[in-house]
Amino acid sequence: MNHIILNAINPFVPIILIGVLIIITLILILAERLLGGGGDKVIRINKKKELPVQGDDTLLNVLTQNKIFIPSACGGKATCGFCKVRVLEGGGEMKPTEEPFMSKDEIERNVRLSCQVKVREDMDIAIPEGLLEAQEYVGEVVKVETLTYDIKLIRFKLIEPNKMEFKPGQYAQLKVPGLDVIRAYSIASDPKDTQNIELIVRLVPKGLATTFVHRAMLTGDKIILTGPYGDFYLREDSDRDMIMIAGGSGKAPIRSILYRLKDLGMPRKVKYFFGAKSKRDLYYSEEFEQLEKEFDNFEYIPALSEPLDEDDWQGEVGLITDVVDRMTDDLSEAEAYLCGSPGMIFACIKVLEKHDIKDENVLFDKFD
């Protein structure tokens, strides 16, 4: 009896299965439509520009594909916090991966990590106008100069496009060839020279990008750079006295700012503190000493925290924060430019506050 029933049902089984599959597919297509997955979407930028895009990728990737280069130093892994944009409409709920990077104010202003937001529907976003000017460049390495045992200067001649306009103090991103690794480096060169970009790179032990730059990069290499980025740049509309503090490779953006101030005839009083461990960590001292000779308004104060006997060091000794503290008067009308590790910047801000600096007059670039 069973045998007879099975024989009777068997011919319909494949038809039923195909039917079920068709229904599931239709449900999935419907769900995709309702949830707004792939397909044509529009991203409105700053209420002006409308960007027709293919959805279902991250906002960061979709913008990059459309030549809008948002900074991103971790390749979209939600570990650098660089890729922030304001998402005014669309984009869904904030993910737990984004929360550690957001201040209360940023959450209220709908700031999101663009690498964590999927484009599933039309979106309305706001990004700083300056970012719309960032471009991708091919740069040829034309000089690799050893400045200290762990710091090198790299000079790139820009090939395509062949000019980058940047504000002194801003940074570029360098893509390590063959690896999904992008890192930020402050532009150390003269902003007048738009055809060449110089970066000062300190070797980080086991660091992916810096090991490449120090051990493998050669003149003639073609490297992808993006930029310019960042709001750490010389405020040219200000005439306040300036205090600059840098450590390690933090000299890079300050050097670019000083090129510009030199061109302007050093119109402001500048006191530049540079902190290093011992004499072997100092570099470009002659450049800054020369500037001191040229301009009464400019003072360069290198300080060593652990000078060696053989250094025969006659200059300032101590942690840079202590040196700044003892050589600084009232800063209530001054403007500060700080550049270096997050720890150094945090400690410097504390000292500057002791001397009455105003929060809004402190600019810094954390090399984290």
**What are the residues binding ligand FAD (CB under 6 A)?**
171, 183-186, 200-202, 204, 206-210, 230, 249, 252, 365, 367-368
Nearer to ligand FES, 83 or 176 (CB): 83
Partner interacting with residue 367 (select from ligand FES, ligand FAD, none; CB below 5-8 Å by kind): ligand FAD
In the complex with ligand FAD, the residue whose CB is nearer, 62 or 200, is 200
Residue 117 Cβ, how far from ligand FAD at the closest point, in Å? Answer: 21
Out of ligand FAD, ligand FES, none, which partner does residue 72 contact, by CB within 5 to 8 A per kind? ligand FES
Q: Does residue number 82 form part of the binding site for ligand FES (CB under 6 A)? A: yes
Nearer to ligand FES (CB atom), residue 173 or residue 321? 173
* Neighbouring residues of 257: CB distance < 8 A, sequence distance ≥ 6: 168, 169, 233, 234, 244, 337
Q: Which of 90, 100, 103 is nearest to 58 (CA)?
A: 90
Contact present, 343 and 275 (Cβ < 8 Å): no
Q: CB-wise, 78 or 203, nearer to ligand FES? A: 78
Within 10 A of 243 (CB to CB), how many other CB atoms are there?
26
Cβ closest to ligand FAD, residue 43 vs residue 345: 345
Minimum CB distance to ligand FES, residue 227 (Å): 15
Cβ atoms < 10 Å from Cβ of 322:
16
To ligand FAD, the closest distance from the beta carbon of 164 in angstroms equals 16
Nearest to 83 by CA among 102, 65, 96, 66: 102
Token readout for 344 is 């150094």
Find the binder of ligand FES among 80, 172, 258, 291 (CB under 6 A): 80
The answer to whether the CB of 247 falls within 8 A of the CB of 219 is no
- Please state the closest distance from residue 117 (CB atom) to ligand FES, in A: 10
The piece of 76-84, 117-125, 185-193, 282-290 that touches ligand FES (CB under 6 A) is 76-84
Which CB, 70 or 258, lies closer to ligand FES?
A: 70
Going by C-beta distance under 8 Å and a sequence separation of 6 or more, which residues neighbour residue 136? 67, 69, 224, 225, 226
Q: How far apart are CA 256 and CA 233, in angstroms?
A: 9
Shortest Cβ 105–ligand FES spacing (Å): 18
| 68 binds ligand FES, rule: CB under 6 A | no
Q: What is the DSSP string of 11-66?
A: GGHHHHHHHHHHHHHHHHHHHHHHHT-SSEEEEEETTTEEEEEE-SSBHHHHHHHT
Beta carbon nearer to ligand FES, 81 or 315:
81
The radius of gyration of the chain from alpha carbons, rounded to an integer in Å, stands at 27
In angstroms, give the least distance from the CB of 79 to ligand FES: 6
- C-beta closer to ligand FES: residue 113 or 363: 113
Question: How far apart, in whole angstroms, are the C-alpha atoms of residue 186 and residue 198?
Answer: 9
Shorter beta-carbon distance to ligand FES: residue 172 or 351: 172
* Most distant CA pair in the chain, distance: 110
Instruction: Select the binding partner of residue 142 from ligand FES, ligand FAD, none (C-beta < 5 to 8 A, by kind).
Output: none
How many other β-carbons are positioned within 10 Å of the β-carbon of residue 239? Answer: 12
Which helix or strand (DSSP H or E) is residue 227 part of? Answer: strand 222-229
169 binds ligand FES (CB under 6 A): no
Q: Which of 45, 62, 83, 187 binds ligand FES (CB under 6 A)?
A: 83
Among ligand FAD, ligand FES, none, what does residue 81 contact (CB within 5–8 Å per kind)? ligand FES
Hey, what are 130's tokens? Answer: 């300056």
Q: Is 78 in the site for ligand FES (CB under 6 A)?
A: yes
The residue from 41, 45, 72, 170 that contacts ligand FES (CB under 6 A) is 72
Backbone angles phi, psi at 14, to 5 degrees: -60, -35
Structure tokens that stand for 314 in this block: 């006659």
Q: How far is the CB of 219 from ligand FAD (least distance, A)?
A: 19
Distance between CA 342 and CA 282 in Å, rounded? 20
**Interface contacts to ligand FES, rule CB under 6 A:** 72-74, 76, 78-83, 113, 115
